[in-house]
Amino acid sequence: MSNSTTLISAVASLAASAMLIRSITNDFIPLEILDFFYSKIYYLSRQFSSQLTIIIEEFQGVSRNQVYEAAEVYLGTKATLSALRVKASKSEDDKKLAFSVDRDEDISDDYEGVQVKWKLSCEILEPYGSRHSNDRNANFKSEVRSYELSFHKKHKEKIFNSYLPYVLERAKDIKQENMEVKLHTIEYDCYWNGNSVKFSHPMTFKTLAIDAELKREVVSDLDKFVKGKEFYKRTGKAWKRGYLLYGPPGTGKSSLIAAMANYLNYDIYDLDLTIVTNNNDLKNLLLGMSNRSILVFEDIDCSIKLQNREEEEEEEQKKGDNNKESKVTLSGLLNVIDGLWSCCGEERIIIFTTNHKERLDPALLRPGRMDMHIHLSYCTFSAFKQLVLNYLGISQHKLFEQIEGLLGEVNVTPAEVAGELTKSSDTRDPLQDLVNFLHSKKMVESDTIIDQC
Ligand SMILES: Nc1ncnc2c1ncn2[C@@H]1O[C@H](COP(=O)(O)OP(=O)(O)OP(=O)(O)O)[C@@H](O)[C@H]1O
Ligand SMILES: [Mg+2]
């Protein structure tokens, strides 16, 4: 008790002496000399300090500093581990709660063995005109926030060249993971509807019933694309990828798009070309998309009559200059895929779907235009096994062998199989019902062939 009292009184008297010395020096020593004195002390302390601190302010002029924003997101994931006070928030677009650091909280981080310390510092600015009580802004207080990142000087290079870019990259991923996938559609010909809807299609690569090998190929292609920033930069290619999905109705083209969007957490921009009036509007729509998104042109063969370019040019010449750009043309569409305007964003995926690949203009199919042509076929045995697992929760059955044989003889779509399994999931023997369905389909098919003969 007496020890602590002594300590408190010693600290108090030291503080009082410091205040006294400060006020005496302020009163008796000219300001310039004091400034010089203080700057020398500051200089010396900096010379001997082993720490370096980077100040990351919230604003850069009037715009928000991206490093600050990234630090805010990144530290949110660290805050719950080491800080004693954290702030929680969630917006309508977020999937989960987001955490952020409270002011003056220290957050430690370890990057490849290097210890760093973050701190959010806030300075309250005196309200403008606070001395004039009748000023309208008198009660308006503002806060200047910044993050302070401190570390040992010897790690300067690593922090600048590797840690900060890592924080930026991680923040981008965290934001992306946390965002709901949105579906955007067109409004008034050439604008994306401001009220995009939450995309809640539950299809994932786990439940998608396509050939297992094809599924692996698609997933690995997407992974490569997402991680390919450096590759695209090095090779001088725009960071985008095109997929052509083709196959009969009900084979899973739209389902595959949903699985891709859910896998990548990318928004979908569903572009109905029949509504878009000309190439210029198409270009504006492209500019209105966000990065990390999927642009979808469904049923490209029937949504618009895409002539080949020579026919187009002839037609335009016939109509004269006044009629130019009165509709979306094949060349307009090719510009979306690989023209200069197509490179205005990053990490974009373009998908065309069709039931009739043979009806597409060869220009669209030329190598390099659509990076991957994906054939969604009639139901294979591998796809069937996935559907049975989804709908009935079984992975083995005595009828599997018979079904495998029938699937080799009958053209049945995954949609049809899914429909049958849904219908008969309550019956005693759903797989026997499916076998009966496949037999009857086989009979119809062979009758049709006989009729044709
Ligand atoms: N490969 C699949 N895996 C899982 N379910 C599928 C698959 N294909 C079809 N289905 C089921 O059938 C329905 C229709 O499939 P989907 O819309 O994906 O076919 P599509 O190929 O896009 O057809 P369309 O050419 O008519 O647009 C889906 O909602 C889904 O329930
Ligand atoms: Mg479809």
Choose one of 201, 254, 359 to mutate for the ligand 1 pocket test, by most ligand atoms within 8 angstroms of C-beta: 254
- Contact criterion met (CB below 8 Å) for 327 and 219: no
| Span 30-79, pLDDT tens digits | 667 667 666 666 666 666 678 999 999 998 877 889 999 999 989 988 87
Averaged pLDDT of the chain: 82
Residue with tokens 């309508």: 92
| Span 277-296, pLDDT tens digits | 888 888 888 888 888 899 99
Q: What does the pLDDT read at residue 119?
A: 93
| CB-ligand 1 contact for 250 (6 Å cutoff) | yes
Residue 347 Ramachandran class (φ > 0 left, ψ -120 to 50 alpha, else beta)? left
Domains of the chain by residue range: 25-178, 182-375, 381-452
CA of 42 to the centre of ligand 2 (A): 68
Closest ligand 1 atom to 387 CA: 4
More confident residue, 197 or 224: 224
ipTM reported for the complex, 2 dp? 0.98
- DSSP bridge partners of 294: 268, 349
Q: What does the pLDDT read at residue 200?
A: 85
Choose one of 204, 251, 255 to mutate for the ligand 1 pocket test, by most ligand atoms within 8 angstroms of C-beta: 255
Tell me which ligand sits closest to the C-alpha of residue 270.
Answer: 2
Q: Which amino acid is at 245?
A: L
Domain 182-375 fold is Rossmann fold (3.40.50)
Mean pLDDT of 104-128: 86
| CB-ligand 1 contact for 419 (6 Å cutoff) | no
What are the angstrom distances between the C-alpha of 253 and each of 16, 243, 297, 377, 378? 78, 11, 11, 10, 12
| CB-ligand 1 contact for 209 (6 Å cutoff) | yes
Task: Specify the residue with its C-alpha closest to ligand 1, atom 18.
Answer: 252
CA of 101 to the centre of ligand 2 (A): 45
Percent above pLDDT 70 for the chain? 77
| Span 227-253, pLDDT tens digits | 988 898 888 888 999 999 999 999 999
**Measured distance CA(119)–CA(117) in Å, rounded:** 7
| Span 415-430, pLDDT tens digits | 999 999 998 767 788 8
List of residues 6+ apart from 126 with CB closer than 8 A: 141
Task: Specify the residue with its C-alpha closest to ligand 1, atom 27.
Answer: 249
| Span 132-190, pLDDT tens digits | 445 444 455 577 889 999 999 999 999 999 999 999 999 988 888 888 888 998 876 67
Q: What does the pLDDT read at residue 313?
A: 56
Examine the pLDDT at 7 and tell me if it is beyond 50: no
